[in-house]
Amino acid sequence: MEILRLENISLKLEGRQILKDLALSVEADTIHSILGSNAAGKSSLAYLIMGCSDYIAQSGSVYFMGKDITTLPIYERAKMGLTLAWQEPVRFEGLKVKDYIAVGMKERNNALIEEAIYRVLLEPKDYLNREVDKTLSGGERKRIELASVFAMKPKLAILDEPDSGIDILALDNIVNMIIELKKQGTTVLLITHREEVSEIADKTSLMCAGYIVKEGKPKEVGQYFKEKCIPCPTKTFSPEEKI
Amino acid sequence: MMQDYSQDYKSILEAYAQAGGTPSIFKNQNIAHLIINKNKVIGSRSIDGLILMPEETAYGVDIELKVEKGKKIEYPIYLCFGVLPKEGIQEINIKAKIEDGAKIQLLAHCVFPNAINVVHRMNAEIEVGDNAYYGYDEVHFHGEHGGIEVVPKAKINVGKNSHLVTNFSLLKGRVGILDLDYVVEILENSTLDMTAKIYGYGDDRIKIREAGYLTGKSSRGLIKSRIAVKDYAQSEVISELTASAPYARGHVDCIEIIQGNAQAKAVPIVNVTNEYAKVTHEAAIGSVDKKQIETLMARGLEKEKAIDLVVSGMLK
């Protein structure tokens, strides 16, 4: 069953075409990865799906659970069960980690908050009462961001490069958490530029220069990405070259 | 010890509780306190090692406070200053001496729940000796009318190897007019840590000047302010830090958030007159950060609730 569909999405920012007639379909209860090099438009796609104010499509539509959400504000999309884990999470002075994790929960559940922080390899007693401020490293904030998504139990979680800024030791845990998200009924849209991370997905879409240029099994698309896209042979790409 | 169980006493304790205080603390025989309504001392207790001498005046109370040499006061001293009527003037003059090796923490709640035309002035002269600690938290609780003018002024001298920590917060009720002026000088190896947190709305007017003079070698200073203003409120924050001794280190940190038609101004002044000293500053004024708001909205919070969460966290 389809949970997310994008039709003919075009996005222009500051005069630059970022996404071009993009179409995407994501099946429920899957991990769907979006693979691509830097500047492919992956994060812009994530922000557009979430409804961020600077990323309003000039044309096209976004459907979530069969409903047209193209003009819905962020919080209404979130209330429907859609959320986003940012690539670079912000700081919140004065807001405790446990309270930040609880923000997305329908009903506060301290046991689940602890489980969420534990799953990202952070010790609850050391982190829950700390503030989400500059005393946390970028990697710690990243993990806390993922914990907040886990605790929310959304229907669809967009994870924008959850592997960036994470050390090797923690990466396995992040991957396991993503798999656990799927097990608990959350569809995951996984944004990454690492094909080895993309391999945990059920399906992969390869993005380049604002287009989806290839879709298929993660290994196959990852192999194509390695062979054709590293290094990137061209700064521009036309729809006719889509495979 | 004087205790007055009159209606005034009960009323001021109610206001004290609304401000976040715990009224039962005034029954604790081991804890010193002072309760003043307008120009009447309606409750006071001192303890061993502490000299606490209030004297009523025409418009307020003069207070002499002294902590004897080497005496470390175990529990905070609880102060409650208030004006319960709708109108009135209150002048509190404090002369405090914290002798060498002494330690004291004061927790003051200033309550003006019914103020329509009230002026509260506080003038403090504080001497902190060597190897001493002086902590002062002042929490204000104002009514919703905005008819209050608060003018706290303090001049504090801190000796060597000592620590000064002050926290001023005005988060409940309308600010009215606030004109705060704190000047602190610290000597060798001492530290100063001054924080102000204020939430203004309506047509509140906030003016803060906090100045620290790091005149002793290896002294340390932090001046921090967190201000949120909305509607037509205005704020001006002058944070001044001067380092004139070798290895003195200081930092000024000011964040102001504005909403609606409010106006905010921050003036960090950093002076360094010794080549081995260093002072840094950061100031940020603006609306609530968009990414913070969108992050919280992406968890299901509506925009106004997201803003409230960010502002309340900043002011915590």
In a domain, B81, yes or no: yes
B288, B294, B299: which to substitute to probe chain A, counting the most A Cβ within 10 Å?
Answer: B299
Whether A145 and A170 have beta carbons less than 8 Å apart is answered as no
Contact flag A95-B302 (C-beta cutoff 8 Å): no
Three-point CA angle B224, B75, B33, nearest 5°:
90
Domain spanning A2-91+152-241, CATH class: alpha beta
Q: Which residues of A touch B315 (CB under 8 A)?
A: 94
Residue in chain A nearest B303 by alpha carbon: A75
Task: Give the residue among B217, B141, B210, B211 at the shortest CA–CA distance from B176.
Answer: B141
Range of B11's domain? 2-291
In a domain, B305, yes or no: no
pLDDT tens figures, A114-168? 999 998 889 999 999 999 998 999 889 999 999 999 999 999 999 999 988 777 7
State the burial class of residue A37 (Cβ atoms within 10 Å of its Cβ: 0-12, 13-18, 19+).
middle
Predicted confidence at residue B247, as pLDDT, reads 97
| Overall number of domains in chain B | 1
In angstroms, rounded to a whole number, what is the distance separating the alpha carbons of residues B107 and B127?
18
A60, pLDDT greater than 90:
yes
Q: Which residues of A touch B289 (CB under 8 A)?
A: 90
pLDDT tens figures, A97-108? 999 999 999 999
In a domain, B314, yes or no: no
Task: Give the residue among B44, B46, B35, B39 at the shortest CA–CA distance from B11.
Answer: B35
Whether B102 and B69 have beta carbons less than 8 Å apart is answered as yes
In a domain, B302, yes or no: no
Cα dihedral: A170, B292, B312, A99 (round 10): -30
Q: Which of residues 89-108 of A touch B (CB under 8 A)?
A: 89-90, 92-95, 103-104
Predicted confidence at residue A239, as pLDDT, reads 47
How many other CB atoms are there within 10 angstroms of residue B289's CB atom? 15
Of B291, B297, B310, the CB nearest to A78: B297
In a domain, B9, yes or no: yes
In a domain, B22, yes or no: yes
Confidence of residue A240 (pLDDT cuts 50, 70, 90): very low
Global confidence as pTM: 0.85
Whether A81 and A155 have beta carbons less than 8 Å apart is answered as yes
A230, pLDDT greater than 80:
no
Position A71: which residue type?
A: T
For A228-242, B158-172, B292-306, which range has the lowest pLDDT when averaged over its residues?
A: A228-242
In a domain, B300, yes or no: no
As a whole number, mean pLDDT of residues B106-125 equals 95
Predicted confidence at residue A39, as pLDDT, reads 84
Query: Which residues, in sequence order, are bridge partners of residue B186?
Result: B158, B214
Pairing of strands B220-229, A92-96: unpaired
The tokens for B268 are: 């960090």
Residue in chain A nearest B292 by alpha carbon: A90
A38, pLDDT greater than 90:
no
As a whole number, mean pLDDT of residues B252-263 equals 95
The tokens for B113 are: 């729940």
How many pairs of residues across A and B have Cβ atoms under 8 Å apart? 62
Where is A127: in which H helix or E strand?
A: helix A124-127
Select the more confidently predicted residue: B273 or A168: B273
Contact flag A95-B255 (C-beta cutoff 8 Å): no
The ipTM is 0.93
Residue for token pair 């994790």: A101
Of A53, A90, A94, the CB nearest to B314: A94
Q: How far does the CA of residue B5 sit from the closest CA of chain A (Å)?
A: 39
Instruction: Indicate the average pLDDT of chain B.
Output: 94
Predicted confidence at residue B310, as pLDDT, reads 94
pLDDT tens figures, B69-95? 999 999 999 999 999 999 999 999 999
B195, B251, B292, B294: which to substitute to probe chain A, counting the most A Cβ within 10 Å?
Answer: B294
Q: Which residues of B touch A52 (CB under 8 A)?
A: 294
Whether A145 and B299 have beta carbons less than 8 Å apart is answered as no
